[in-house]
Amino acid sequence: MSRTGGAPLTDESAEELTITLDGRTVVARTGELLIAAAERAGTYIPRFCYHPRMAPVGMCRMCLVEVDSPRGATLQPACFIPVADGMVVGTTSEKVKKAQDGVLEFLLANHPLDCPICDKGGECPLQDQTLAYGPGESRFVEEKRHFEKPIAISDLVLLDRERCIQCARCTRFASEVAGEAQIDFAGRGELVEVATFPTEPFSSYFSGNTVQICPVGALTATPYRFTARPWDLDQVESTCTTCSVGCRVAVQSSSNRLTRLLGIDSDPVNHGWLCDKGRFAYESVNGDEIDASPTEAALADVEVDVAPATAAQVVSLGVSRGQFMGEAHETGRFEHGRLVEPRVRKSGELVPVSWGEALAAAAAGLEGARDAGGPSAVAVIGGARLTNESAYAWAKLAKGIIGTDSVDAQLGDGLPAELVLGLPRATIDAACAAPLLITLAGDLREELPVLFLRLREAVTGSTSLIEMAPTPTALTALATASLPLRPGEAPLVARALCGDDAAVTELTTHPEGSAIDDAALNVARQALAGRPGGEGVVVVLGRPSYAESGDVVAEAARVLARALPGATFLPALRRGNVFGALDMGLAPGLLPGRVGLESGRQWFTAAWGAAPEATGLDTAAILSSMAGAAGVTALILLGADPLSDFPDRAAARQALSAGHFVVAVTGHPSESVDAYADVVLPCSVAHERPGTSTNIEGRVSRLGQKLTAPGFAWPDWMIATELAAALGADLGVSSANDLADELRVTAPAYFGLTPAVLHSSAAHDGILLPIGAGDAPRADVEPIDPIALPGVESVEQQGAPPRSGSAMGDGVVQDRIATLGSPPALLAGVPASEGGDGVHVPPADNYALRLVSTRRLYDAGSSVTGSPSLTPLVPPLVVRANPYDLDRLGATTGDQVRVRSARGDLVLPAQADDGVPRGAVAIDFNVPAGPEAPGNAVAILIDSRSPVTDVRLESVG
């Protein structure tokens, strides 16, 4: 037993025992805390400091109950003592009541009764429990304790020390859950306060959770502060699609504006936590009121935090540390930071038109391309932010109606789709329960923050971690062994890990020698040797660097899959609903329902009337085809901005500037849309449409609609149906429900996903697909920490309601499936690499440095640049290099250096970093470098024609 250990949630497999609770005999489980056992038995014991996901501390004393002991009944904190067989507990005696009333009165002694101006008022556990338990009037007539307030303890969180009741929920979250003990108590007696360390701010990516679990109004978040009263909020349960983890959220709004997101505890997914980007990026949906013509002075005043951001600033993406550095763009075309009117480019300008005119223009352009070059002349890039239903609609339009297979929801920043869907899949829970975890990815705290929290908990426990990453990550310190990956070396390192000594030797042929430490490799090999055949091993497979080809990582994944047949894989692709998009067939060679094009062609030809004849192009190939002489001449962008999203900016620029027809379906302005779209079709975005999404595990959960989309924006699926109509075809659906009905009978992995299943109480945590493949659903939907989620009982279960007597009843479904023939098998197994013999990385030379580019949580993506609270958090861009390599240049930290590649060059401040292997340099992905290089600056350097990008560092001036 440890003070910081604790097993807060009931272990259902633990042995049963009985206790006497207020005279009743109640069944509890060994190791269960008394407060939890009582709650399961229907007796709620009041509490403030207890949080089921954190170790108990027994500090607030609100949960004092009487427990019989050999020395008579004593008052004990129910949150701290485990049940014991035969334990006799009283929760309602006069003594208990007096103790609890006394604690409440004490808590209120110094607590300012400023509830009318406190954000927590109306949803405050202290307020509520005072009503339920406390004395009616205060006997405290003294002067209350005073502190300066509020004080900003981070960019997003303000602290009111007078309201604080010292429950240690925030400090425990920071140290136990996030692993960042940046806040702690200072002072003594009633002057105890939560404080940051003098030289370190509270800079956590998870700071918003401390606000959510604060039982009073001591911690408030700047985006929500003073914007609403809780009783005016309307809320819906949904899934966060800022990244692909699939955290459950309560989305709250007031007057058709989003006001707040709260994490809902989903046991297999997010444990109630959210990252700050997921929590606060709703600001980009609201798209604050914009001054259509920002003054020169406003743009010149770079020191001032300008909120809300102007459209010009949003569009320029030249945002860093609260300084807007972008050049002014023409801004009159945007409202609310959102594109809300259909537009057609006329005389070089995008001008607002009717939907009819826009659709006709889009259809004409697409038809022209198809007539001239066949179906494969049309390509689609994007779709990872669509709902599953909309993604299905677009897959049907592209592959069934237009007939092209050149469709890719990944933007050169992903992995081969067949590999992702074919590898044996792990769940997050499986990864956390694995004895041995291998990560082949970038920094998960930057890319999939809540997955990081879950894995961190596992790795601080009994899970061993072998980490393969190009630069140190937030998990490195916890890893059993860390194997640094220089660009292009992942397959070799994977082979070395799996026992191939030739690979170890080959790694040493690098001019700087091997980046792998022999001792670490031996430790890793030994850990792996303990798992014969990789049994029980889980591999988290992402993109360690965006400056090397995804084929390199794919090859490494194949090495691991072949060497570890017992291992399962958790794919760590980042984009919101990228897994839903892949599942719906928005990738070359795929059809909806995790089916390959070849095996599924017959089935989908039966279902849709047509299916592509040949495998199409991925994003890189589409762009290169557009830039070249032949091939793709019309492009549909589904929420994609190739100039920033695609790692090779020159390739994207060449493709888009080649004069081909471009249709953009988008909710936000972007550089690509601005400069190159011929037709803009405005769509609704997150929180504006119901439906479902699919997370990294293949778990489907519902999306709630909270807002009505602004202006003339339509849901994506509706744009697909109307565009199909404009093309003279019929998509055969007229609602999102129709699409849900159709996809659950045509997309094999989604068979059986009926409204009844989706709306069952067991769907609280989503449905792992294919149905029957995964975990037993948790029927209990009670919030485990009512303090963190006030009013969750009223969260609407929104979405299409289950319909009785539906035309698509089970019998009809079976009939429909039968008419289509025999369903194709789901993708399984490890496809060979495209060329069949792996990937060829050119050898490193003595002079060039290999470029590494990893993601940061706060980047130039539209969810950040559209959120005034988050834009100041985008880090300044630097080039990080090993001090050895900087020395060779004669440069030190802070010096401006020029980074030059075959594609272009960037001037950046240098930063010496031991974590970067010799022979490599690291530049963050999708972070602007100032007016010269707005948006994804490093994309100026990355050369997607080669598996790796070599750069040289040069002194400046």
Partner 1 sequence: MAITDAPKIVTARLGYTDSHTLERYLATGGYEGLRKALTMTPEAVAHEVDTASLLGRGGAGFPAGRKWSMLRKTAITYLVVNGDESEPATFKDHLLIERDPHQILEGVLISAYALQVTQAFIYLRGEFALGLERLQEAVNDAYAHGAVGADIFGSGFSLDVVVHPGAGAYICGEETALLESLEGKRGFPRIKPPFFPAVYGLYNEPTVVNNVETMANIPWIITNGGAAFAALGAGRSAGTRLFALAGHVRNPGTYELEMVKTTFRDLIYAPVLGGGITGGNTLKAFIPGGVSAPWFGPDKVDLPLGQDEVGEAGSMLGSGSVVVMDSSTCMVRAAWRITKFFARESCGQCTPCREGAGWLERIMYRIENGDGREEDLDLLMDLCDNISPGVAWPPQQTTICVLGPSIPSSIASGIRMFRDEFLVHVKDGGCPFD
Binding site for partner 1 (CB under 8 A): 1-3, 58-62, 64, 74-75, 77, 80-81, 95, 98-99, 101-103, 105-107, 109-110, 139-140, 142-143, 145, 165-166, 184-185, 187-192
Residue 23 CB, nearest approach to partner 1 (Å): 22
Q: How far is the CB of 795 from partner 1 (least distance, A)?
A: 31
Q: Is 508 exposed, middle or buried (0-12, 13-18, 19+ CB in 10 A)?
A: exposed
Of 186 and 292, CB closest to partner 1: 186
Phi, psi for residue 540 in degrees, rounded to 5: -90, 115
Q: How far is the CB of 199 from partner 1 (least distance, A)?
A: 19
Q: Which is nearer to partner 1, 195 or 781 (CB)?
A: 195
Rounded CA separation 104/126 (Å) = 8
Secondary structure class of 496 (helix, strand, coil): helix
How many Å apart are CA 214 and CA 112, to the nearest integer? 16
- Give the N- to C-terminal CA distance of the chain in Å, as an integer: 61
- Of 52 and 690, nearer to partner 1 (C-beta) is 52
Rounded to a whole number of angstroms, the minimum distance from the CB of residue 77 to partner 1 is: 7
Compute the least distance from the CB of residue 51 to partner 1, in Å: 16
**Amino acid (one-letter) located at 317:** L
Nearest distance, CB of residue 59 and partner 1, angstroms: 5
The maximal CA–CA distance of the chain, rounded, in angstroms, is: 93
To partner 1, the closest distance from the beta carbon of 189 in angstroms equals: 4
DSSP bridge pairs for 33: 82
Q: How far is the CB of 81 from partner 1 (least distance, A)?
A: 7
User: If you count them, how many residues does the chain have?
Assistant: 957
Scanning 191-286, the segments in alpha helix (DSSP H) are 207-213, 276-280, 283-286
Beta bridge partners of 537: 436
Judged by CB, which is closer to partner 1: 62, or 458?
62
- For partner 1, the closer CB: 3 or 255: 3
Q: Residue 186 or 832: which CB sits closer to partner 1?
A: 186
**3 state DSSP class of 421:** helix
Q: Which residue type does 460 have?
A: T
Q: Nearest distance from residue 64's CB to partner 1, in Å?
A: 6
Run of H or E including 850: strand 849-852
Cis peptide before 931 (omega within 30 of 0): no
In the complex, minimum distance from the CB of residue 116 to partner 1, in angstroms, rounded to a whole number: 23
- Amino acid sitting at position 792: V
d(CA 407, CA 586): 6
Verify cis geometry, omega within 30 degrees of 0, for the bond prior to 215.
no
Give the nearest distance from C-beta 30 to partner 1 in angstroms. Answer: 15
Shortest spacing between CB 833 and partner 1, in angstroms: 51
Residue pair 515/507 in contact (Cβ under 8 Å)? The answer is yes
Residue 762 — φ and ψ, nearest 5°?
Answer: -70, -15
Here the tokens at position 919 are: 């022979």
Report the nearest approach of partner 1 to the CB of residue 97 (Å): 11
Spatial distance between the Cα atoms of 732 and 698, rounded to a whole number of angstroms:
27
Nearer to partner 1, 4 or 657 (CB): 4
d(CA 122, CA 130): 12
Cα–Cα distance for residue pair 555/569, rounded to 1 Å = 14
Nearer to partner 1, 165 or 386 (CB): 165
Smallest distance, partner 1 to C-beta of residue 277, A: 32
- What does the alpha-carbon distance between residue 179 and residue 173 come to, in Å, rounded to a whole number? 8
Those residues with Cβ within 8 angstroms of residue 937's Cβ, 6 or more apart along the chain or in another chain: 877, 906, 923, 927, 928, 929
Q: Which is nearer to partner 1, 114 or 782 (CB)?
A: 114
Nearest to partner 1 of 87, 723 (CB atom): 87
Judged by beta carbon, residue 191 or residue 828, the one nearer partner 1 is 191
Question: 1 or 297: whose CB is closer to partner 1?
Answer: 1
Comparison of 65 and 258: residue with beta carbon closer to partner 1: 65
| Minimum CB distance to partner 1 smaller for 134 or for 868 | 134
Which parts of 7-67 are beta strand (E)? 16-21, 24-29, 64-67
Write the DSSP symbol of residue 765: G
User: DSSP code of 770?
Assistant: S
Give me the least distance between CB of 180 and partner 1, in Å please. 17
Amino acid symbol at 333: R
Q: Which is nearer to partner 1, 72 or 836 (CB)?
A: 72
Q: Is the Cβ of residue 85 or residue 887 nearer to partner 1 in the bound state?
A: 85
Checking DSSP bridges between strand 219-221 and strand 234-239, what pairing results, if any?
Answer: unpaired
SS3 of 874-933: CCCCCEEECHHHHHHHCCCCCCEEEEEECCCEEEEEEEECCCCCCCEEECCECCCCCCCC
Whole-number minimum distance, CB 160 to partner 1, in Å?
Answer: 17
Q: Residue 536, exposed/middle/buried by CB under 10 A (0-12, 13-18, 19+)?
A: middle
Q: Note whether 921 and 849 are within 8 A (CB).
A: yes
Nearest to 783 by CA among 429, 271, 125: 271
